[in-house]
Structure 1
Amino acid sequence: MDVGQGRRRTALFAALAAASVALFVLLWTAAGGSSAPAPGGGSSAPDEAAAPGADSRVPAGREALVDNPLYDTGRLAPLPCPVPDPDVEDPASMERFLDTVADCLDQAWSTQFAQAGLPYDPPSRVFWTEPGSSPCRDYPSEAGAFYCRTSQSVYIGTEDVVRKWQGETNGAVYASLLAHEYAHHVQGESGLLEYYHERRGRESGRRAQNAWTRRSELQANCLAGAFLGSVAVSYPLEERDTAAVLEDAEATADRPDGAEEDRTHGSQANSRAWTERGLEGQSPGSCNTWTAEPALVQ
């Protein structure tokens, strides 16, 4: 091989390598790989909009939002879910508590998806005590908890959430937080997140994007409430527990004096109302925020 031919071949390999890197970056960006935490609220918007699988049973497009098969499945029907109160000062106790609640969430939503005729894989769980990294973001996270669609995992800091919630000892608040992040997985598995991210991404302004985010977050509030209401027989929420969950819904909502560009989780009144609606309705059909009047998702 002469020198000129060798140089041409080297240049060709370099061009192919550059093209491969560019294609990887393009596909990663399209999947939401560079998404950042949404501002405001107690938990962030769900990270990553991974494309749905080839399973034709999973709805796509607007149907996934407004006419999802999950909405017709009626009340959640979980098995008994006896949950011990956590010792919030002991990370191991918090992890046992969260694992127990997550087991109940796995069973409840697996059953619900089966009733809807939809495939379902429960999310993985990462309950951190040390810093780490997910495909979506590093942790500790300002929110204390988040859902990453790329890894299909729920992430919660067992010490961080206690600090963020100022040492709250009522386990129902942490169960509600876990159920909220888990609800983003439910949205993803039902085909909803894909279209939501697509439509949100088409909006050119921050306010218009936030309008979509609020509907997603308020639906997650409602789905969390639906789960907590459905397990009330074996994990009873006393009046003080329900009050704590609803007060937390208000506390993690958008601040009344916050900038419009940061309003991603809904008003205090709407955050509480959708959580309460889930607690009472105990069904996905109670939580269709996508067809709700604008005033109910502000």
Structure 2
Amino acid sequence: MEPGIGAGARRPRRGRGALYAAVAALVVALTVLLWTAIGPGGAVPPGTPETDADAAGAPAAAQRPSGRDALVDNPLYRTGRLSPLPCPAPALDVEDPDSVERFLDTLADCLDYAWQTQFAEADLPYRPPSRVFWREPGSSPCRDYPSEAGAFYCRTSTSIYIGTEDVVRKWKGEPNGVVYASLLAHEYAHHVQGESGLLEYYHRRRGDEADRGAQNAWTRRAELQANCLAGAFLGSIRVSYGLTSADTDLMLDDAEATADRPDGPESDRTHGSARNSRTWLRHGFEEQTPGACNTWVADTDLVS
């Protein structure tokens, strides 16, 4: 268990390779039947609870929490493990932007279903984010793109923005799709934060801080929570996606590489140390539940 994050963390069990292989074979075999039932584009299958308060014949979902409770006692934290559909790794050719876009779209469909189901469990309203996979320069309500990060989430438009060529260049042509899956899941996690009600309070409290260091302390908790939520999703699909131990190691190494530089100025300390970036991603990956990702009550040294 990672000290101070939360009880119940489990270390991966060893000697289960044959069992995981059998389970993976079964879920992949079922995938064709499930996606046939769902249809193209990630449509919600019959019988899935609606979370839209305006849905005909459906009870209105509870209001999103507000204030400090939205951060530290969010209903989403009590929903248990994510229950996604099987999500086999899509084909990916990083030299083909169309292939990169198809890869991201397929993973985003999996994310939509997983988080919509989770919000229904919490009795919270939820709408999936829009997707903008750019190849040409453009503008969002939050910022212009391309952006240095290659990807960002804009709450104003409730949209995820990713450059299909920019991220490949940023990751130096890395052919393993797990780094792009992790990036997408992280940006998607910011949408989850917004839909759960916590971003409004977070932005207000961060804005109240006059000191840049204090502002960054709030930002790090938000970014490390997004790491953890991304890990929860990736852990929940690791069997059907076919994640190997090498894939997991690459994902965790990448979390370290994209963290704050230890020698960087205070103004740049917005995403957490390499150790904490890795720790929270791994914690979410092992626990597979939003309840493992409450960075807002974590000890300061775990969100530095």
- The reply on whether 1:185 has 2:158 as its aligned counterpart is no
Q: Offset of 1:137 from its aligned partner?
A: 0.7
Q: Offset of 1:83 from its aligned partner?
A: 2.4
1:211-263: per-residue Cα shift (whole Å, max 9, x none)? 00000000000000000000112102101110111011001100010112210
Equivalent pairs counted in the alignment come to 245
The equivalent of 2:108 in structure 1 is 102
Q: 2:77 aligns with which of 71, 74, 77?
A: 71
Q: What is the TM-score of this pair, normalised by structure 1?
A: 0.81
- The reply on whether 1:112 has 2:118 as its aligned counterpart is yes
Q: What is the TM-score of this pair, normalised by structure 2?
A: 0.79
Unpaired runs of 5+ residues, structure 2, are 1-59
Q: 1:240 aligns with which of 231, 239, 246?
A: 246
Q: Distance in 2 between matches of 1:103 and 1:79?
A: 10
Alignment of 1:7-156 (within 5 A): 57-156=63-162
Deviates more, 1:76-85 or 1:221-230: 76-85
* CA contact 2:76–2:118 (8 Å) conserved in 1: yes
Q: Distance in 2 between matches of 1:236 and 1:83?
A: 7
One-letter identity of the residue aligned with 2:110: C
Q: Offset of 1:55 from its aligned partner?
A: 7.5
One-letter identity of the residue aligned with 1:211: A
One-letter identity of the residue aligned with 1:273: T
- SS of equivalent to 2:238: coil
Q: Distance in 1 between matches of 2:198 and 2:222?
A: 9
* CA contact 2:62–2:123 (8 Å) conserved in 1: no
The equivalent of 1:159 in structure 2 is 165
Q: Distance in 2 between matches of 1:293 and 1:139?
A: 35
Q: Distance in 1 between matches of 2:219 and 2:182?
A: 19
- The reply on whether 1:279 has 2:285 as its aligned counterpart is yes
Q: Distance in 2 between matches of 1:268 and 1:255?
A: 8
One-letter identity of the residue aligned with 2:209: E
Q: Offset of 1:110 from its aligned partner?
A: 0.1
One-letter identity of the residue aligned with 2:97: P
Q: Distance in 1 between matches of 2:162 and 2:241?
A: 21
1:27-78: per-residue Cα shift (whole Å, max 9, x none)? xxxxxxxxxxxxxxxxxxxxxxxxxxx9852000000000000000000000
The equivalent of 2:202 in structure 1 is 196
Percent of pairs identical after alignment?
Answer: 76
* Bigger Rg, structure 1 or 2: 1
* CA contact 2:135–2:165 (8 Å) conserved in 1: yes
Q: 1:115 to 1:56 in 2, by over 3 A?
A: closer
1:80-105: per-residue Cα shift (whole Å, max 9, x none)? 11222310000000000000000000
Q: 1:226 aligns with which of 221, 228, 232?
A: 232
Q: Distance in 1 between matches of 2:90 and 2:186?
A: 20
- SS of equivalent to 1:113: helix
- SS of equivalent to 1:127: strand
1:180-234: per-residue Cα shift (whole Å, max 9, x none)? 0000000000001000000000000000000000000000000000000001121
* CA contact 2:62–2:124 (8 Å) conserved in 1: no
* CA contact 2:62–2:125 (8 Å) conserved in 1: no
Q: Distance in 1 between matches of 2:141 and 2:114?
A: 27
The equivalent of 1:269 in structure 2 is 275
One-letter identity of the residue aligned with 2:260: D
Q: Distance in 2 between matches of 1:168 and 1:235?
A: 18
* CA contact 2:61–2:123 (8 Å) conserved in 1: no
RMSD across aligned C-alpha pairs, in angstroms? Answer: 1.1
Deviates more, 1:246-255 or 1:76-85: 76-85
Unpaired runs of 5+ residues, structure 1, are 1-53
